[in-house]
Amino acid sequence: MVTSAKSAAQGADLLALAVPAALITAVYVAQYAFGLAPCEMCWWQRYPHFAAIAFALGGLATRGTRLGRALVALAALAIGISGAIGAFHAGVEYGWWQGPTACSSTSLGNDPLASIMNAPLIRCDTPAWTMFGISLAGFNFLISVASAALILVLIGRRSKGLSR
């Protein structure tokens, strides 16, 4: 039982780092390689993933301790929060509810005022890209919530294995 608890611990630790790192990498590739500029709510989804990466790195650095387990659990929570924001954003995109009126632009150039005045507004209610009718926000929801749940299940298995 100790071996399965140890593998659950390693799985939780690695997922807590790999999932947000992969999602952040994917959105930056989409942004800079394919020109999909993020809206305000897209940015909101990134912030918890940045926090999750920091928590997961801390969890890996303190692996095998209570602090390490707590940091991995916080990473799972942050991943889940990003997924919840993604669900809200997807609902705005599908027209299920109204979103915030804030829009954003990412480039300021040499003349910040001219860049702001001439920058296109990136709407939160229009998906920049979809596959099978699911937007990036929808994929963030699906991947993040499932990953957060799996990490928490693995943490639970680890705890049960250690208590026996």
Q: Are 27 and 46 in contact (CB under 8 A)?
A: yes
pLDDT digit string (tens) for 20-47?
999 999 999 999 999 888 998 999 999 9
Q: Give the domain ranges of the chain.
A: 2-163
DSSP code per residue over 153-164? HHHHHHHHHHH-
> How far is the CA of 111 from the CAs of 115, 117, 118, in angstroms?
6, 10, 11
- Condensed to tens digits (0 to 9), the pLDDT of residues 134-162 reads 899 999 999 999 999 999 999 988 666 55
Q: What's the predicted TM-score (pTM) here? A: 0.81
DSSP assignment letter at 104: B
Question: φ, ψ for residue 110 (rounded to 5)?
Answer: -80, -35
